[in-house]
Amino acid sequence: MIGDWLANGYLWIKALHVISVIAWMAGLFYLPRLYVHHTEKTEAGTEMDTVFQMMERKLLKLIMNPSMIASWLFGLLLVLTPGIVDWSAVWPYTKGLSILAMTWFHMWLAAHRHDFVKGEFKLSGRTYRMMNELPTVLMIVIVISVIVRF
C-alpha cells in the first residue's frame, strides 16, 4: 500500500528532494564563507559582529535546517520507493556515507556559529576556506554515485 503511494508520487518526491538539496547545498557553500569574513573582518562585540551573527543565524535556522530535514525526508522516501535502489551496487553506500558526512559538516558549522555567539573566534579564515571545499567534494561523490550508479 505505501509502496504504491511512493511509486505513484515518485516524480514529485524526487523533485522535492532535488529542490531541498539545492537549498541545503547553497547554505553549506555560503555559511563557511560568512565565517571567513566574520573571522577576518570583525571583532567580538562590534556592530559588524552582530550583523554577521544575525545573517549566520537566519541562514542556518531558516534555510539550512529546514532544507536539510526536507532533503533527508524526501531522500528516505525515495529509498523506500520499490525498485529505486539496487542494494547490491556500490552507489547507495557511497551516497549514504557522503550524506552522513554532509550532515556532520552541517552540524560542525552549527557548532561554530555558537562560538561566534560566545565571542570566541576559534578558527582562522583559512581553516573555514579549506573546510568550505568539503561540501563540494561530497556533492561530486553523491552526483557521480547517483548518475553513474557504479
What does the pLDDT average to over 94-104? 97
Give the model confidence (pLDDT) of 34-92 as tens digits. 999 999 999 999 999 999 999 999 999 999 999 999 999 999 999 999 989 999 999 99
Q: Helix, strand, or coil here: 101? A: helix
Domain hosting 87: range is 2-148
The answer to whether 74 and 149 have CB atoms below 8 angstroms apart is no
99 close to 70: Cβ distance less than 8 angstroms: no
pLDDT at 4 over 90: no
pLDDT at residue 117 in the model: 94
Q: What is the DSSP letter of 120?
A: -
Q: How many domains does the chain have?
A: 1
To which H or E segment does residue 124 belong?
none
